[in-house]
Amino acid sequence: MRRSTLVWGGALGVVGLFVVPLVGLPLGFALGVYLIERGGRRSRHAAWSAMVAVLRATGFALLVELAGALVAAGAWLLAVLLT
């Protein structure tokens, strides 16, 4: 996947953030990657595969961030309960 695909996907993600609050960023990003890949490769299958790969990577990153936030909140709660 080209770097320009991710840049355009990110730009459309920011636009999506303002068009559809809360879910517009990931929606716009995925749609942007799909449209750029569809226009560049002219193949629906390749564009779909690229979009699925981006969504998996984004979902994994969100899960890692959530796990970190839960560990931090748990550590804070433990400190509050112990003091």
Across the chain, mean pLDDT equals 89
Domain span including residue 34: 3-82
pTM listed for this prediction: 0.68
Total domain count for the chain?
A: 1
**pLDDT, tens only, 55-77:** 898 889 989 999 999 999 999 99
* DSSP helix/strand/coil, 2: coil
Find out whether 37 and 47 touch, Cβ atoms under 8 Å.
yes
Buried b (16+ CB within 10 A) or exposed e, 35-44: bbbbeeeeee
Please give the pLDDT value at position 44: 86
